[in-house]
């Protein structure tokens, strides 16, 4: 769409924004001057929904009043509590409710999924990840390769940008899958690359991988709650995501997991089993013969922390109130488009935007590098932070900012660019 570079235009956009009232559903941190921060760090830790405290207090009250009976009593009994999140998760990632489950943490879930879907052989033992993967993913993949007796130097296949470029080209990724596919056991890539903000074509990657006999999974840490997805339709084998970024469930909250339904009844899959994955109809008969549920729930091992799930339920209810992920994505494209427009108008010669321009290739986040001679990017980041902006810094030289449609405004974007512009001036 066509934008205008003015505060008046930003305020007009906010006035006409049907999601603008959602900002009132969140606690916005305050700057030292008492005004709201310009919080552009929802890609790292989302803000607290106002209903979260209510949902947590309800469960604390249930525990206080009922003790162990809280597992079976009240509006949201603890025994099936994770099921109250299934519909919200399914809507976010484009899945059936039987294909999603809340459990563990993100990297733990990646390990659990690799137990089932990384089945290396002498001729097919490689795992394909991106060269600049989030370190935890890299560590997890390397440790899985070593666990199976292979050498990461030979079995970890890295897709890299071309020399002098920051983004991975689709054609290079497809060519690598075609060339190396017969030796690849698992493709595990992000939905959105954490450093550059690049969205990967998950549908095309899955199809290409399956055509070569590979299993395909995704780390959706920066995708869940950020972009629209259709994991079931795309035939993705598995996916994992955290819930504390765009899903606003609080630091270290329980993660989410997707397993395509075609794997639910596959008895040949390896699995690290626990009693919460056992058939719920016979779980409390305390038999030692494991009967997995025919759903993503079969990958659970333990009963989940209810207080964390309550925070996720508060977040999912907030997303539902906003109209769901499609409504959020529509506003997100406008917000991030407006921010890019302002940056290019005001600072086109001073900063470089690593994140792709095409709508389908980016989410909320823009990754910026400072090209002004003589000013270190970290210094610029510290200046904007002192002026009331919360973004984040990623070594070696990237400032990441993400206007989140649930609580950020067009005025936030305008004010941020003015602060960034001032921060680029020599002292």
Identify the pLDDT of residue 1: 78
Read off the pLDDT of residues 243-297 as tens digits, 9 standing for 90 and up.
999 999 999 999 999 999 999 999 899 999 999 999 999 998 888 999 999 999 9
What CATH number does the domain containing 121 carry? Answer: 3.40.640.10
Q: What are phi and psi of 169, to 5 degrees?
A: -80, 135
Average pLDDT, rounded, for the chain: 97
**320: closest CA among 77, 36, 84?**
84
Evaluate whether residue 384 is within a structural domain.
yes
pLDDT band at 426 (very low <50, low <70, confident <90, very high): confident
Read off the pLDDT of residues 212-258 as tens digits, 9 standing for 90 and up.
999 999 999 999 999 999 999 999 999 999 999 999 999 999 999 99
Distances in whole angstroms, Cα of residue 21 to Cα of each of 34, 329, 388, 409 = 21, 16, 22, 10
The share of the chain scoring above pLDDT 70, in percent, equals 100
Evaluate whether residue 339 is within a structural domain.
yes
Evaluate whether residue 145 is within a structural domain.
yes
pLDDT band at 373 (very low <50, low <70, confident <90, very high): low
218 and 110 share one domain: yes
Read off the pLDDT of residues 341-364 as tens digits, 9 standing for 90 and up.
999 999 998 999 999 999 999 999
Whether the upstream peptide bond of residue 43 has omega within 30° of 0, thus cis, is no
188 membership: H or E segment, kind and range? strand 184-190
113 and 11 share one domain: no
Domain boundary among 301, 321, 341: 321
313 and 367 share one domain: no
Terminal CA-to-CA distance of the chain, rounded, Å?
Answer: 37
139 and 236 share one domain: yes
248 and 344 share one domain: no
268 and 386 share one domain: no
Comparing 176 with 284, the larger pLDDT belongs to 176
28 and 67 share one domain: no
pTM of the predicted model, to two decimals?
0.97
Which residue stretches of 45-105 are H helix? 52-66, 86-93
Number of structural domains, the chain? 2
Domain boundary among 303, 321, 339: 321
On the 0-12 / 13-18 / 19+ scale of CB atoms within 10 A, 410 is: buried
Find the Cα–Cα–Cα–Cα dihedral 231, 232, 235, 238, rounded to 10°: 60
Evaluate whether residue 49 is within a structural domain.
no
pLDDT band at 427 (very low <50, low <70, confident <90, very high): confident
Residues 6+ positions from 170 with CB-CB distance below 8 Å: 201, 204
Read off the pLDDT of residues 68-100 as tens digits, 9 standing for 90 and up.
999 999 999 999 999 999 999 999 999 999 999
Read off the pLDDT of residues 13-25 as tens digits, 9 standing for 90 and up.
999 999 999 999 9
Domain that holds residue 81: 56-321
Q: Is the pLDDT of residue 29 over 80?
A: yes
Domain boundary among 321, 350, 370: 321
Evaluate whether residue 375 is within a structural domain.
yes
**196: closest CA among 407, 345, 371, 402?**
402
């Amino acid at each position: 769409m066509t934008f205008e570079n003015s505060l008046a235009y930003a305020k007009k956009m906010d006035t006409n924004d049907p999601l603008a009232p959602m900002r009132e559903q969140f606690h916005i941190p305050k700057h030292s001057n008492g005004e709201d921060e310009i919080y552009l760090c929802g890609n790292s830790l989302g803000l607290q929904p106002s209903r979260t405290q209510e949902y947590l207090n309800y469960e604390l009250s249930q525990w206080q009043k009922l003790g162990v009976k809280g597992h079976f009593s009240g509006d949201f009994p603890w025994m099936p509590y994770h099921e109250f999140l299934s519909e919200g998760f399914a809507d976010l990632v484009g899945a059936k409710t039987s294909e999603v489950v809340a459990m563990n943490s993100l990297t733990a879930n990646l390990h659990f999924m690799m137990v089932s879907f990384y089945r290396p052989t002498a001729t097919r033992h490689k795992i394909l990840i991106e060269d600049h993967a989030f370190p935890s993913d890299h560590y997890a993949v390397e440790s899985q390769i070593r666990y199976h007796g292979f050498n990461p130097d030979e079995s970890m296949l890295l897709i890299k940008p071309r020399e002098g470029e920051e983004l991975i080209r689709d054609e290079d990724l497809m060519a690598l899958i075609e060339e190396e596919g017969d030796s690849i056991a698992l493709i595990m890539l992000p939905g959105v690359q954490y450093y550059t903000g690049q969205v990967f074509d998950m549908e095309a990657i899955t199809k290409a991988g399956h055509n070569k006999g590979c299993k395909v999974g995704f780390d959706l840490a920066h995708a869940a709650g950020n972009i629209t997805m259709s994991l079931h339709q795309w035939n993705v084998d598995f996916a994992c995501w955290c819930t504390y970024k765009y899903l606003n469930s609080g630091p270290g909250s329980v993660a989410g997991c997707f397993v395509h339904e075609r794997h639910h009844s596959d008895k040949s899959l390896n699995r690290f089993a626990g009693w919460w994955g056992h058939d719920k109809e016979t779980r409390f008969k305390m038999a030692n013969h494991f009967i997995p549920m025919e759903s993503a729930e079969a990958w659970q091992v333990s009963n989940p922390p209810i207080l964390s799930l309550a925070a996720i339920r508060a977040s999912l209810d907030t997303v539902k109130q906003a109209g769901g992920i499609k409504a959020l994505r529509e506003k997100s494209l406008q917000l991030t488009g407006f921010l890019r427009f302002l940056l290019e108008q005001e600072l086109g010669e001073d900063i470089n935007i690593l994140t792709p321009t095409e709508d389908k290739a980016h989410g909320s986040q823009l990754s910026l590098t400072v090209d002004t001679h003589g000013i270190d990017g970290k210094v610029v980041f510290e200046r904007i932070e002192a002026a009331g902006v919360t973004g984040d810094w990623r070594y070696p030289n990237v400032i990441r900012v993400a206007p989140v449609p649930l609580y950020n405004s067009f005025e936030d974007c305008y004010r941020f660019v003015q602060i960034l512009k001032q921060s680029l001036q020599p002292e």
